[in-house]
């Protein structure tokens, strides 16, 4: 009997286990329910029953055998949904237990109902009993997982990509490419440019700095690679066959690459043309299709918003905005804008500007759209529009639309500037109109300022341009509301033979450059606030001019394609003093390393501005000391070299003296080396000149001035 009993006991035990196992897998815990009073418990259960019954047959949760005290709570008896009620508050506890007859149904229900929106405030959180057990098993004491501990012990292999910013002298860096070489230099205002790193065949085609300067991107047939840190190690690489383009997000979190593969040759299920990568992990987040064959890819296809959260691309009649979190279209659909021509993101806000041309009944429009809300902030209707170029202020304070408009006859063209003020309420717009035949190029906002400059031509031949500078913060017109700013002209430089304008990144200094082949690379530095031309210079044949990110230096360069003779670069300081120049036979490009935005808060900046004098004194002293130490160091080196040379000569003289006899012997005793004769002309040949008619070769040369290809008479050009 005892044995039987034991057998029975074991059987029961195993049945119980099977039951529990079954029960466990067929039970679901539904959380995040509303807490309702006793009167509404049944109603809630009804709602829940309706939801869960659809999936499979339910089984009662609380059986008579259940020992759970709360099960006896009146009104909580169930048809498969058990709602426990707190006896103290007389309210349901905010969760429910659901039991299915079959574990498979429970599984289905788990997937189907997790995240179910019960009402506005309640989204169901469904989990299996196993999940509950797992959560319960977690102790309250935190224990570091082994993995983390191991990682902590391991040496840091992460490349410090910001190390270069900690340079004691606060120097800038730049990268040049020439021949097969890619070189990175330090640029100091006192010292000569010093090479930091160089590598032959570093890149297959070009290089690209990331927007904050953390990485240098090299392009290869297999993909792109990012390099950084003080040793220029490879940080990460993104395999993308035949990659041609790359675009970083402004905060360097992501990078988009493209190999310009046509849609026809691409795989729509797994597009290879455009890829979005996460820089930190090296993961490919998503692929996109490129352009169809025959249409040239206009890079960048995608553009980023300022905080790396959205990126957008324009298609025919649509702008597709993608969220980074989901890597999918915002609200799962593109924004339909019939005939949209171009869009640009604000550099500081989640605002996008786009323009649409005129069609039969509607005017052309410039629209400001806020995202992701898709709220239209402002739109500006314009008539007789030929084209619009939109230009954001670097700090996002203003937007300028350069509108090329047609005269009534549609034959002539004239430009207008539509200037949006983004900060005041309602985004007021001001318009500047110009005469027919005039044209505007090189519109540029003053960084960190409120001024803008552009080049205006009246259309007469000769390539002369007026440089006009205006401010957005002119005094209000008399009678206008006191707080309203107006556009006001600041200064006009007339009749300049130039082709480009470059604002200093710090504002207030404007660089006028003539970079076309006939303008010889003339450069003129203009102080806008003082209305003064600071200095002028020339870099013959220069085609590229670039300010460094701090606004301390300007680099001008001549690629070898322009002139193989002048090929190279030149560095000037911010007021046009030439600092350094170098020529390379096959020079490609010059790239300043960008810097991240300042981490100083406004109060710190103001503090610094207040104490500018003490800073200046300190830095000037540092520079002076450096110069002196260099000078004395050089002098010391020279002294050493000189002394060494003297020693060599001394030894030579001693040996020479020692060997006198030997030399004499070698010459058969005939000649004495040290017998000094001062020969007359030809005396050594036995000549004695009686009379000589000297035919001087008097030079009256005409030089061909190679640089300008003109014949210049030597006398003519002396001042």
Partner 1 sequence: MTTLARLGRPSGDELGRAQATGAAGKGWVLWFGELRRLPRELKTKAKRGKHTNTHTYTQRVVRTIRANAVALSGIVYLFIAMRPMILKGHERPLTMVKFNREGDLLFTAAKDKVCNVFFSSTGERIGTYVGHNGSIWGMDINWDSTRLLTGSADATAKLWDAASGTCLQTWEYQAPIRAVAFGPDEQVMSVSQVKYKQEEVKVQVSRISEPNAVAGGASPMEITGFKENVVRILWYPTGEFFLAASEDGSVSKYDAETGSLIHRAQLHTEKIHDMQWGNMYAHFITASTDMTAKLVDVRSMEVLKVYKKETPVYSASISPLLPHVLLGGGQAADQVTTTSAARGGFEAILYHVAYQTELGRVRGHFGPINTLSFSPNGKQFASGAEEGYVRLHTFDPEYFNRAYE
- Interaction with partner 1 in 565-594: which residues (CB under 8 A)? 565-566, 568, 570, 576-583
**632 contacts partner 1 (rule: CB under 8 A):** no
**655 contacts partner 1 (rule: CB under 8 A):** yes
Least Å distance, CB 467 to partner 1, is: 16
**63 contacts partner 1 (rule: CB under 8 A):** no
Phi, psi of 607 (to 5 degrees): -60, -45
Least Å distance, CB 687 to partner 1, is: 7
**696 contacts partner 1 (rule: CB under 8 A):** yes
Q: Are 248 and 596 in contact (CB under 8 A)?
A: no
Q: Are 168 and 230 in contact (CB under 8 A)?
A: no
DSSP assignment of 199-235: EET--SS-EEE-TTSS-EEEEETTEEEEEETTTTEEE
Q: Which residue from 697, 700, 702, 711 is in contact with partner 1, where contact means CB under 8 A?
A: 697
- Residue 179's Cβ-side half-sphere holds a number of Cα atoms within 13 Å equal to 8
**653 contacts partner 1 (rule: CB under 8 A):** yes
Q: Are 488 and 478 in contact (CB under 8 A)?
A: no
CA-angle at 396, arms to 392 and 401, nearest 5°: 25
Least Å distance, CB 660 to partner 1, is: 10
Q: Which stretch binds partner 1 (CB under 8 A): 23-31, 139-147, 534-542, 591-599?
A: 534-542
Phi, psi of 593 (to 5 degrees): -80, 125
Residue 365: beta bridge partners?
Answer: 356, 381
Q: Could you give the string, one character per residue 540-559, with x where binding to partner 1 holds by CB under 8 A and - elsewhere?
A: x-------------------
**CA proximity to 521, closest of 589, 567, 455, 586:** 567
Angle formed by the axes of helices 602-610 and 612-658, nearest 10°: 70
How many residues bind partner 1 (CB under 8 A)? The answer is: 72
Q: Which stretch binds partner 1 (CB under 8 A): 299-307, 311-319, 478-486, 705-713?
A: 705-713
Least Å distance, CB 177 to partner 1, is: 18
Least Å distance, CB 213 to partner 1, is: 27
**688 contacts partner 1 (rule: CB under 8 A):** no
**717 contacts partner 1 (rule: CB under 8 A):** yes
Q: Which stretch binds partner 1 (CB under 8 A): 55-63, 372-380, 547-555, 706-714?
A: 706-714
Q: Which of residues 533 and 608 has its CB atom nearest to partner 1 in the complex?
A: 533
Q: Which residue from 111, 195, 616, 642 is in contact with partner 1, where contact means CB under 8 A?
A: 642
597, two tokens? 């935005």
Least Å distance, CB 621 to partner 1, is: 20
Site for partner 1 in 446-505 (CB under 8 A): none
Q: Which of residues 63 and 564 has its CB atom nearest to partner 1 in the complex?
A: 564
Least Å distance, CB 662 to partner 1, is: 4
Q: Which residue from 74, 679, 690, 702 is in contact with partner 1, where contact means CB under 8 A?
A: 679
Q: Which of residues 21 and 631 has its CB atom nearest to partner 1 in the complex?
A: 631
**514 contacts partner 1 (rule: CB under 8 A):** no
DSSP assignment of 501-527: EEE-TTSSEEEEEE-STTTTTEEEEEE
Least Å distance, CB 581 to partner 1, is: 4
**CA proximity to 456, closest of 434, 487, 432, 430:** 434
Sheet of 413-421: strands edge to edge? 385-392, 398-406, 413-421, 429-433
**694 contacts partner 1 (rule: CB under 8 A):** yes
**684 contacts partner 1 (rule: CB under 8 A):** yes
Which residues, in sequence order, are CB contacts of 360 under 8 Å at separation 6+?
none
Residue 195: beta bridge partners?
Answer: 185
Site for partner 1 in 118-137 (CB under 8 A): none
Least Å distance, CB 690 to partner 1, is: 13
How far apart CA 676 and CA 92 sit, in angstroms, is 125
Q: Which residue from 603, 686, 688, 700 is in contact with partner 1, where contact means CB under 8 A?
A: 686
Phi, psi of 55 (to 5 degrees): -85, -40
Site for partner 1 in 180-219 (CB under 8 A): 192
**656 contacts partner 1 (rule: CB under 8 A):** yes
Q: Which residue from 19, 383, 615, 687 is in contact with partner 1, where contact means CB under 8 A?
A: 687
How far is the CA of 450 from the CAs of 115, 353, 403, 417, 474, in angstroms? 50, 20, 20, 15, 10
Least Å distance, CB 698 to partner 1, is: 8
**636 contacts partner 1 (rule: CB under 8 A):** no
Least Å distance, CB 497 to partner 1, is: 10
Q: Which of residues 4 and 691 has its CB atom nearest to partner 1 in the complex?
A: 691
Cβ atoms within 10 Å, residue 508: 18
Least Å distance, CB 444 to partner 1, is: 24
* Residue that the structure tokens 């675009």 belong to: 247
How would you label 20-32 residue by residue, b for 16+ Cβ within 10 Å and e otherwise? eeeeebbbbbbee
Q: Which of residues 139 and 684 has its CB atom nearest to partner 1 in the complex?
A: 684
**695 contacts partner 1 (rule: CB under 8 A):** yes
**671 contacts partner 1 (rule: CB under 8 A):** yes
**638 contacts partner 1 (rule: CB under 8 A):** yes
**666 contacts partner 1 (rule: CB under 8 A):** yes
Angle formed by the axes of helices 103-113 and 38-53, nearest 10°: 110
Cβ atoms within 10 Å, residue 579: 17
How far apart CA 587 and CA 702 sit, in angstroms, is 33
Q: Are 556 and 544 in contact (CB under 8 A)?
A: yes
Least Å distance, CB 654 to partner 1, is: 10
Omega before 99 within 30 of 0, i.e. cis = no
How far apart CA 136 and CA 117 sit, in angstroms, is 26
Q: Which residue from 7, 285, 480, 683 is in contact with partner 1, where contact means CB under 8 A?
A: 683
334, two tokens? 């593109």
- 503: burial class by Cβ within 10 Å (0-12, 13-18, 19+)? buried
**422 contacts partner 1 (rule: CB under 8 A):** no
């Amino acid at each position: 009997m005892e044995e039987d009993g034991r057998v029975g006991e074991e059987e029961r035990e195993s049945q119980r286990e099977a039951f529990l196992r079954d029960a466990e897998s067929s039970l679901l815990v539904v959380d995040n329910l509303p807490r309702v009073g006793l009167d509404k418990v049944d109603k809630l259960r009804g709602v829940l029953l309706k939801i869960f019954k659809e999936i499979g047959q339910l089984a009662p949760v609380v059986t008579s055998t259940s020992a759970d005290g709360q099960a006896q709570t009146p009104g909580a008896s169930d048809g498969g949904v058990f709602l426990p009620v707190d006896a103290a508050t007389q309210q349901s506890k905010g969760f429910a237990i659901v039991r299915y007859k079959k574990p498979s149904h429970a599984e289905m229900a788990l997937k189907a109902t997790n995240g179910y929106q019960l009402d506005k405030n309640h989204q169901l959180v469904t989990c299996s009993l196993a999940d509950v057990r797992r959560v319960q098993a977690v102790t309250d004491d935190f224990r570091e997982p082994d993995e983390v501990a191991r990682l902590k012990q391991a040496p840091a292999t992460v490349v410090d990509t910001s190390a270069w910013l900690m340079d004691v002298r606060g120097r800038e860096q730049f990268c040049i490419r020439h021949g097969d070489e890619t070189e990175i230099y330090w640029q100091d205002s006192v010292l000569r440019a010093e090479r930091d790193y160089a590598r032959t065949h570093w890149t297959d085609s070009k290089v690209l700095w990331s927007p904050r300067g953390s990485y240098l991107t090299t392009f290869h047939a297999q993909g792109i690679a990012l390099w950084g840190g003080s040793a220029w190690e490879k940080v990460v690489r993104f395999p993308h066959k035949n990659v041609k383009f790359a675009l970083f997000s402004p905060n360097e979190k992501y990078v988009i690459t493209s190999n310009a593969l046509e849609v026809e040759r691409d795989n729509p299920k797994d597009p290879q043309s455009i890829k979005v990568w996460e820089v930190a992990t090296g993961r490919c987040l998503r692929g996109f299709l490129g352009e169809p064959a025959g249409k040239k890819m206009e890079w960048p296809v995608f553009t980023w918003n300022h905080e790396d959260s959205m990126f957008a691309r324009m298609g025919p009649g649509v702008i597709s905005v993608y969220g980074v979190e989901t890597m999918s279209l915002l609200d799962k659909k593109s924004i339909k804008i019939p005939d949209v021509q171009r869009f640009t993101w604000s550099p500081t806000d989640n605002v996008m500007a786009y323009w649409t041309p005129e069609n039969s009944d509607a005017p052309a429009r410039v629209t400001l759209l806020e995202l992701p809300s898709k709220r239209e902030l402002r739109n500006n209707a314009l008539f007789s529009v030929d084209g619009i170029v939109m230009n954001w202020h670097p700090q996002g304070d203003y937007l300028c639309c350069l509108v090329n408009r047609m005269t009534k006859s549609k034959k002539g063209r004239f430009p207008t500037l539509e200037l949006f003020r983004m900060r005041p309420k309602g985004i007021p717009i001001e318009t500047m109109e110009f005469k027919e035949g005039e044209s505007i190029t090189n519109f540029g906002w003053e960084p960190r300022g409120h001024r803008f400059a552009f080049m205006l031509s009246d259309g007469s031949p000769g390539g002369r341009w007026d440089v006009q500078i205006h401010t957005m913060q002119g005094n209000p017109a008399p009678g206008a509301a006191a707080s309203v700013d107006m556009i006001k002209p600041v200064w006009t430089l007339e009749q300049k033979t130039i082709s480009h304008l470059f604002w200093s990144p710090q504002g207030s200094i404007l660089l006028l450059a003539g970079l076309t082949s006939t303008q010889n690379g003339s450069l003129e530095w203009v102080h806008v606030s003082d209305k003064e031309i600071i200095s002028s210079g020339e870099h013959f044949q220069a085609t590229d001019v670039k300010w460094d990110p701090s606004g301390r230096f300007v680099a001008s360069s001549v690629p070898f394609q322009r002139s193989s003779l002048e090929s190279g670069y030149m560095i000037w300081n911010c007021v046009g003093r030439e600092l350094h120049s170098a020529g390379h036979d096959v020079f490609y490009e010059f790239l300043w390393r960008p810097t991240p935005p300042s981490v100083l808060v406004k109060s710190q900046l103001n503090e610094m501005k207040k104490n500018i004098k003490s800073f200046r004194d300190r830095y000037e002293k540092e520079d002076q000391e450096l110069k002196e130490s260099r000078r004395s160091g050089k002098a010391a080196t020279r002294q050493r070299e000189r002394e060494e040379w003297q020693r060599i000569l001394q030894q030579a003289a001693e040996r020479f003296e020692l060997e006198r006899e030997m030399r004499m012997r070698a010459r058969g005793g005939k000649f004495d080396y040290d017998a000094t004769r001062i020969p007359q002309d030809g005396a050594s040949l036995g000549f004695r000149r009686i009379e000589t008619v000297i035919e001087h070769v008097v030079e009256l040369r005409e030089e061909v001035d190679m640089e300008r290809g003109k014949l210049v008479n030597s006398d003519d050009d002396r001042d």
